[in-house]
Amino acid sequence: MIPAPVEYTRAGSAEEAISLLTEHGDEAKLLAGGHSLLPMMKLRLATPAQLIDVGRLDELRYINADNGEVAIGALTRHTELEHSDVLADACPLLKHVASLVGDPSVRHRGTLGGTLAHADPASDLPAAVLALGGTLVAQGPNGRREIAATDFFASYFESVLAADELLVEVRVPSGGGGWNYQKFNRRAQDWAIVGVAVADGGKGIALVNMGATPLRATAVEAALAGGASAAEAAAVAAEGTSPVEDGNADATYRKHLARVLTERALNAAG
Amino acid sequence: MTAVMGTPMLRKEDGKLLTGEGKFVDDIHVPGELWMGMVRSPHAKATITSIDASGALAMPGVQAVHTGPDLADMGLWIAPLPCAWPVTPDMLNPPHFPVASGEVHHVGEIVAVVLADSRYGAADAIDEVVVHYDSLPAAASVAEARDGDVLAHSDLDTNKAYHWPLVPDPDALDAAFAGADVVVAADFVQQRLIPTAMEPRGVLAVPSPHGGDITLYSATQVPHILKVMAAATTGIPENQIRIIAPAVGGGFGAKLNINPDEILALTLANKLGRAVRWTESRSEAAGSTHQGRGQLQHIELAADSNGKLQGVRVHVDADMGAYMMLITPGVPLLGSFLYTGVYDVPAFGFTCDGYFTNMTPTDAYRGAGRPEASYAIERAMDLLALEVGVGPDEIRRRNYINGGEAFENHEAASTLVFDSGHYGPSLDRALEMADYEGLRAEQSRRREAGDKVQLGIGMCTYVEICGLAPSRALGGLGYGAGGWEHATVRMLPTGKVEVVSGSTPHGQGHETAWSQIIADKMGVSPHDVTVLHSDTAMSPLGLDTYGSRSLAVGGVAIAMAADKVVEKARLIAAHQFEAAPEDVQFENGSFSVAGSPSSSVHIQELGFAAFAAHDLPDGIEPNLQEQVSFDPPNFAFPFGTHVAVVEVDEDTGGVKLTGYFAVDDCGNQVNPLIVEGQVHGGIVQGAAQALFEEAAYDDEGNITNPSLMDYLVPSTMEMPSMKLDSTTTPSTTNPLGVKGVGEAGTIGSAAAVINAVCDALSPHGISDLEMPASPQRVWNAINRASGNGEGGAS
Ligand SMILES: Cc1cc2nc3c(=O)[nH]c(=O)nc-3n(C[C@H](O)[C@H](O)[C@H](O)COP(=O)(O)OP(=O)(O)OC[C@H]3O[C@@H](n4cnc5c(N)ncnc54)[C@H](O)[C@@H]3O)c2cc1C
C-alpha cells in the first residue's frame, strides 16, 4: 500500500528519458500509465530508486495507418485504441482487445507500450500484437531498432528491451482475414484466466496466460495450414504450453480452456 | 399532509457523502499526530525468538517501536481484548492482547508496533524491524483443528473451544428420525469470507493531556460498545473516553469489534500525550480485520414419503480462527434457531463445536450465522425434493408453516416464537415474476437439444431473525449486554426537530428513515429533522447498528419518543386553548379542540412556548424533549423468496447469473428505496459467496488471496438486473410493525444461486457443489460425473 522511497523525474522527450535511463541504470524504471508498475510498488514487489515518467510524451501518442501498416505510438492509451476509427478499418482485432482490458479507468491510464514492456503473459494486448505478427520499435542511446513481436517476450515480466531502451512504437499489418478474441475470466475487469487471439483468418494465433510469455499457438497454425478443421486444429492448442496454476485454474483446466477457446475463436473468426 | 413513511424519499445524507463533504477517519488530521505501523507475523504459528528494532529506531521520524512484552510492562491495559459472548461457562478463551508475546497464532497478528511521524515513515520502519521466529506446524483448516493433531495454541491441550447444544426434545428428535420414510443427509462448507467494506478500518486517538480526556475516532459500527469495552480493557475511566464514528463507509459486521489497533491507538496516545493514528491497507485487512463464515455443516432431514418434514438435525463445526473476538463464538448460535427455516418441523436438534485454528479470527459478517443456516436448510430441501421426486417449489409448499397461509406467533421446535409470516404468496409472486413455467420450458428445450449452455433455476424461501434483541433472550444465550436501543427527540425553540439516535449508521440511510418517522409522528417536514448520532458525547446511550436492528429497535424507540413529545405538547396546547387535554386532537402536526377546528396551533409553534416557559401548565417542565429506551419483547422475523437463474457453460464450467427475482417481506416499510438498496447489496454479497469469494488459505495457514486482484468481489458487471417486489406482513413485535432488511438479501441469495447451479447440472447426476462454484470446480464436477479422469480435485 505504501511504496518504498523513490525519486521522480518527468521526461520532456524520448531522448531525455533515454539519457535518464542511461544515467540511472538498473535503479530506474520508466513510468507510463502506472497501472502495472504502481500496484507493484505499493505492495513493495517493485522498489525502483528512480521513476522516469514518460506518461506525458504526447509525441508518442498516435495511431497512423500507412502502406499496409498501422503505426501506434507506445504511449497510446488503451482507451484510444478502443475508440479509434483508424483501427476500426485497419486492425479491428486490436481495437476490440483494447476494449476488454480491465475497466474504463484502467483503460484511460494504461498504455500499449506499458503493457508490452511489462510482458505479463496474462495481459491481452501483447497476445493480440503477437497474433498479428507485429513489430516493436525500441529507441536507445544508439538510436532505434526493430524487434519482431515473436522475439520480444523473454519470460514472466521480462522482455528483450535493454535497461536503457524505451519502446516508442508498435507496428501491425492492416487488413487481413477474419479475427476474433476469446477472453475467459470470472469478473469483467479481470485478467484472462486464458485468452486466445486469432488474426488473419487463423494465420496468426496467440495464447494468453498459457506459459511464461504470450505464446504463438504454432501447432494450431500448422494444423490449419495443413487443412485441418477448426475443431481438429483446436485440439492441439495446448501443445507446448506450460501454464501457471493459481486460485482460478490448475494447468489441466487451463489447457482444456485453451482448446475450447481456440475452437470458439477459430469458428468466430471464420 | 400525506404520509412520509412508506415513500421512497431520496436519502438526505447522500449529497454530503457523494461530494466528499463526508469526513471519514482518514480525512481527519490533528497537529503532531503519530502513525502506527504494525509489524505482523508472516507465520500462522510460531514462537518469537527475538525482535531487533535498532534499525527502525535509527530511521528519521521513528519515535518508538514497542513489542508485546514492552507494552505489557508499560501497563497500558488491564485486560485482554474482550469477548462479550462466552457461550458456555467452560468455553476456552485464550488471552488475546493487542500485540503478541511469545507465540503468534495467525498470519497478520501484530508482533510489534512502530510509531513514526508519517505514514510513509511507519511503513518504511516496519521493514527494518527484524523478527526471528521458530515456525511451528499450524492448524490451517477447521477440519485439521478438529482432528486435533496440531494444536492452534500450544498451551491449550485441545482445539475445541466449546460444545453448544440446542436440542429441546431429544426423544422426539430420535423418534422423528426412527419413524421417517426418507432421511436426507448432507454436508456443506461455509468458506471463510473477507468482509470488504468500501472504507477500510482506521483509527485516530486524540488525547488532551491537560484535560485528561481522550477522543477516539474509529471507523466502527459500535461506538457505544467500544466505549464501554475500551474502558474495561484499558482502565481509562469510561467518563474520560469519547468515541466518534465519523462518516463510516460500510461495515457488514467487520466494524463490529474491539480491535487491537483501537486499543493501541487509545492507550499509546493517552500515554504519550500525542495523537496516534492508523489506517489499514486492503491487503493488511485480511489479517487485521475479522473474517466471516467458516463452518462445516452437517444437516439431516427426516420426512415422510410425501416429503413432509418430521425432524431436522444439525451439527456445525465452526472455525473460530485464532482468538475469540467480540462475538466470535456466538455467531453460529445466531443461526442455530433457523435451521428449520420457514418450515413446520416437529422435532429439531442443533449442536455446534467451536474450534480454534491458526487463521484470522472469525466474527460477524452480514447475516452472521443466519446465511449459513438458511443455506443449509434450503440446499437440503432441494435434496429432499430430488429424493421424493417433486419440484423444489412443491417441496417447500408442502412444508411451509401454516401451509403457507398467514400466521402470528408460531412457536418453532427451536423454542423461538416467530412473530408473523405468510410464506405462500412470496413464493407465488417470485415464481410469477421469474416466469417459472417459461424458464422450465426453456430448460427442457436446451436439455433436449444438448445445448452446451444449460439453464438452471434455483429458489430459496428464507426467514431470518433480526431486531437484535430482547435483552432477556440475549442474557439467556450468555451474551454480555442487552439489546435495547435509546432515542431522544427534542423540538428546538424554532420548531426544528433533533433526534438523538443510539443506533449508528454506516451507510444505511438512518438520517432519512428517522426523519420520515418523525415527519409522520409529529407532522413536520422531514427536512426539519436533524439526526445526531455516532458520537458518544452527543448520543451517550446506545447499542449501535448490527443484526438488522436499527429500525426494529432504534426506529421504534424514536417513534415512541416522538409520541411522548406530542403528548407533552398536547398538554401545552390544551393550556393555551384553555381546554381539557383529552379534548385536544392532533392531526398533521396541528393541535385543535374537538368541535372547533378553526383555532389551532402547530406543534412547531409550541417549541418556543416550551422553551420560553412563560406560560406552561402547572407541573410541566420547560422544553419539549423526551427519551425512550426500547427493549423489544421478541425478535422480528423477516422472510422472502428468491429465485436465481443461471447459465452454465458446460465446456468451460463458467456460471453466469442471468436472472434474479426477489420478493422480500420486512413488515411495514419506512422507505422502499432504502429497502431496495439493502436488498440489492445483500443479494450481491450472497451471490458473491456462491460464485466468487473465498478467503483461501494454504496448508501453512497463509492467506493466498488478500488483495482485491485475487479476492473476487463481484461488481455490477457480474450481476443481472435484479427484479424486486415485496409483500407486507407487519411484525407483532413492535408498534411500527417493522422488521428489518439489512441482511435479508444475503440470507436468501447464496442458497438460491447454488440451487440454480445444481439444477442446471442435475442431468449429470450432480446434486451438490461447494462454494464458490468457480468455473474450475464446475468443470471438475462435470468431468467427475461423466467418469472422465481429466478433472482434478475440486
Ligand atoms: C485493476 C486493473 C485491471 C487490469 N486489467 C487488465 C486486463 O484485464 N488485461 C490486461 O492486459 N491488463 C490489465 N491491467 C493492466 C493494464 O493494462 C496496465 O495498464 C498495463 O499492463 C501496463 O501499462 P501502463 O502504461 O500502465 O504501464 P506502467 O505500469 O507504467 O509500466 C509497466 C512496466 O512497463 C515499463 N514501461 C512502460 N512503458 C514503457 C515504454 N514505453 N518502454 C519501455 N518500458 C516501458 C515500466 O517501466 C514498467 O516496468 C489491469 C490493471 C489494473 C490496475
Domains of chain B, start order: 17-136+198-250+255-288 (3.90.1170.50), 292-468+634-785 (3.30.365.10), 484-630 (3.30.365.10)
Q: Report the distance separating Cα B537 and Cα B534, nearest Å.
A: 9
Q: Mean pLDDT over residues A229-247, rounded?
A: 97
Query: Above pLDDT 90, what percent of chain B?
Result: 97
Per the CB < 8 A criterion, the answer to whether A220 and A236 are in contact is: yes
Tell me if A186 and B712 make a contact (CB, 8 A cut-off). Answer: yes
Q: What is the pLDDT of residue B2?
A: 72
Q: How many CB atoms lie within 10 A of CB A231?
A: 12
Interface of B with A (CB under 8 A): 119-120, 123-124, 127, 281-284, 651-654, 691-692, 696, 704-705, 707, 709-710, 712, 714-715, 717-718, 774-776, 779-780, 790-792
- Mean pLDDT across chain B: 96
| Minimum CA–CA partner of A43 in chain B | B283
How far from the centroid of its chain's Cα atoms is residue B219's Cα? 15
Q: Is the pLDDT of residue A164 over 70?
A: yes
Q: What is the pLDDT of residue B792?
A: 44
pLDDT digits (tens, 9 = 90+) for B362-415: 999 999 999 999 999 999 999 999 999 999 999 999 999 999 999 999 999 999
Residues in B touching A187 (Cβ below 8 Å):
692, 712, 714-715, 717-718
Beta-ladder partners of A66: A69
Residue in A100, A115, A185 to alter for ligand 1 test, most ligand atoms within 8 A of Cβ: A115
Beta-ladder partners of B256: none
pLDDT digits (tens, 9 = 90+) for B251-279: 999 999 999 999 999 999 999 999 999 99
A3 DSSP assignment: P
Q: Report the distance separating Cα A262 and Cα A232, nearest Å.
A: 10
Domains of chain A by residue range? 7-52, 59-173, 180-269
Q: What is the pLDDT of residue A270?
A: 83
Q: Name the grid cell of B705.
A: 488471496
CATH annotation of A7-52? 3.30.43.10
A100 lies within 8 A of chain B by CB: no
Q: Is the pLDDT of residue B607 over 90?
A: yes
Q: Give which of A209, A200, A270, A269 is closest to A237, Cα–Cα.
A: A209
Amino acid at A149: A
pLDDT digits (tens, 9 = 90+) for B98-146: 999 999 999 999 999 999 999 999 999 999 999 999 999 999 999 999 9
Q: Report the distance separating Cα B656 and Cα A101, nearest Å.
A: 20
Per the CB < 8 A criterion, the answer to whether B161 and B356 are in contact is: yes
Per the CB < 8 A criterion, the answer to whether A110 and A74 are in contact is: no
CA of residue A110 to ligand 1 center, whole Å: 5
Half-sphere exposure of B423 (CA within 13 A, CB side): 26
Q: What is the pLDDT of residue B596?
A: 84
Residues in A touching B788 (Cβ below 8 Å):
none
Q: What is the pLDDT of residue B633?
A: 96
Q: Give which of A197, A208, A202 is closest to A220, Cα–Cα.
A: A202
Provide the pLDDT confidence category of residue B789 given band limits of 50, 70 and 90: low
Q: What is the pLDDT of residue B598?
A: 80
Q: Check: pTM over 0.95? Answer yes or no.
A: yes
Examine residue B469 and say whether the peptide bond preceding it is cis (omega within 30 degrees of 0): yes
Q: Which atom of ligand 1 is nearest to the CA of A78?
A: 17
Q: Is the pLDDT of residue B696 over 60?
A: yes
Q: Is the pLDDT of residue B731 over 70?
A: yes
Length of chain B: 794
User: Under DSSP, is residue B23 helix (H, G, I), strand (E, B) or coil?
Assistant: coil
Q: What is the pLDDT of residue B780?
A: 97
Q: Is A104 in the pocket of ligand 1 (CB under 6 A)?
A: no
A99 lies within 8 A of chain B by CB: no
Report the nearest-CA residue for atom 10 of ligand 1: A123
Q: Give which of B365, B356, B326 is closest to B85, Cα–Cα.
A: B326
Q: How many CB atoms lie within 10 A of CB B15?
A: 11
Same fold yes or no, A7-52 and A59-173? no
**Residues with Cβ within 8 Å of residue B726, at least 6 apart in sequence:** B640, B663, B664, B665, B666, B669, B672, B675
A59-173: which CATH topology? Answer: 3.30.465
Tell me if B775 and A43 make a contact (CB, 8 A cut-off). Answer: no
Tell me if B774 and A186 make a contact (CB, 8 A cut-off). Answer: yes
Provide the pLDDT confidence category of residue B597 given band limits of 50, 70 and 90: confident
Q: Mean pLDDT over residues B43-50, rounded?
A: 98
Report the nearest-CA residue for atom 2 of ligand 1: A102
Strand order from edge to edge, sheet including B292-303: B160-166, B347-356, B309-321, B292-303, B182-193
User: Chain A closest CA to B621's CA: distance in Å?
Assistant: 57
According to DSSP H, which parts of B398-456 are helical?
A: 423-434, 436-449
B368 DSSP assignment: T
Q: Mean pLDDT over residues B465-481, rounded?
A: 92
Closest partner CB to A256 (pick from B124, B718, B790) = B790
Closest partner CB to A2 (pick from B123, B696, B710) = B123
Strand order from edge to edge, sheet including A7-10: A7-10, A50-53, A28-31
Amino acid at B442: E
Query: Above pLDDT 90, what percent of chain A?
Result: 97
How large is the greatest C-alpha to C-alpha distance in chain B, in angstroms?
91
Query: Above pLDDT 70, what percent of chain B?
Result: 99
Q: Is the pLDDT of residue A60 over 60?
A: yes
User: Under DSSP, is residue B240 helix (H, G, I), strand (E, B) or coil?
Assistant: helix
Residue in A26, A30, A147, A186 to alter for ligand 1 test, most ligand atoms within 8 A of Cβ: A30
Q: Give which of B48, B474, B108 is closest to B323, Cα–Cα.
A: B108
Q: Is the pLDDT of residue B793 over 70?
A: no
ipTM of the complex: 0.96
User: Chain A closest CA to B724's CA: distance in Å?
Assistant: 24
Tell whether domain A180-269 is in CATH 3.40.50.10470.
no
Q: What is the pLDDT of residue B791?
A: 46
| Minimum CA–CA partner of A254 in chain B | B776
pLDDT digits (tens, 9 = 90+) for B655-673: 999 999 999 999 999 999 9
Residue B567 backbone dihedrals phi, psi, to 5 degrees: -65, -40
Q: Flag the least confident range among A1-10, B1-10, B193-202, B601-610.
A: B1-10
Q: Mean pLDDT over residues B417-427, rounded?
A: 98
A45 lies within 8 A of chain B by CB: no
Size of interface A-B (CB pairs under 8 A): 70
CA of residue A119 to ligand 1 center, whole Å: 9
Residues in A touching B281 (Cβ below 8 Å):
1-2
Q: Name the grid cell of B51.
A: 525482535
